[in-house]
Amino acid sequence: MTDKTASLTRRGLLRAFAATAISAAPTYSAAAGFLRGSGDVRRLRMYNGRTGEQIDMIYWIDGQYIADALQEVNHFMRDWRNGQVAPIDTRTIDIATAAHNLMDVSEPYTLISGYRSPQTNAMLRSNSSGVAKNSLHLQGQAADLRLSSRSVSQMAQAAAACRAGGVGRYSGSNFVHMDCGAVRSWGS
């Protein structure tokens, strides 16, 4: 283990202890609590391999979401198969941002899936038993994300530390599902 790896591990442990302290609060406030430590600014960084688009934007300043920025996030996280756009729940954006901050990484997430139209979800369900009929992707409340610099396990641990929604590990496909639904976890 290098000094840099040990430092990240120590930092990660300290953040995990902070997560434990915050976890006594209602579920969503835990993710918001992690973000409070990042100052008065919340920043989202993602790359969409399906469309080639990138987003690196501040979407929240001084306690306020920025409407224009959220519109850009909605467009960025659209159903890439048919271009349909839906509002992405700000809680999902906050969870992804909080987990990203906990991992102390500058690499943008790779977006695998954000919003899914009913047609896309039905098509995916017909091809896989792992797609929920009432997926939170249909409501813009979920994101499937990947980082090349972090393992599925590391990403899932960071998202779970937020105690603010569902966390699914998809190690075989190398991504983590994060949503703002009930706190739960699955996968390996």
Confidence band, pLDDT 50/70/90 cuts, at residue 133: confident
Hunting for tokens 């990484």 — which residue is that?
105
Say whether pLDDT at 55 is over 50.
Answer: yes
Say whether pLDDT at 24 is over 50.
Answer: no
Report the percent of the chain where pLDDT is more than 90.
71
Q: Are 154 and 143 in contact (CB under 8 A)?
A: no
Say whether pLDDT at 160 is over 70.
Answer: yes
Mean pLDDT of 82-99: 97
Q: Give me the pLDDT at residue 31, please.
A: 55
Mean pLDDT of 121-149: 93
Q: Are 123 and 138 in contact (CB under 8 A)?
A: no
Q: What is the rounded distance in angstroms from the CA atom of residue 70 to the CA atom of residue 48?
A: 16
Confidence band, pLDDT 50/70/90 cuts, at residue 33: low
Query: Domains in the chain, please, with CATH?
Result: 3-187 (3.30.1380.10)
Q: Give me the pLDDT at residue 30, please.
A: 53
Q: What are phi and psi of 185, to 5 degrees?
A: -145, 160
CA distances from 28 to 95, 150, 183 (A): 8, 24, 9
Q: Give me the pLDDT at residue 108, please.
A: 98
List of residues 6+ apart from 147 with CB closer than 8 A: 103, 105, 107, 109, 110, 155
**Per-residue pLDDT reduced to its tens digit, 57-79:** 999 998 899 999 999 999 999 99
HEC assignment per residue over 22-47: HCCCCHHHHHHHHHHCCCCEEEEEEE
185: which 2 tokens?
A: 């976890």
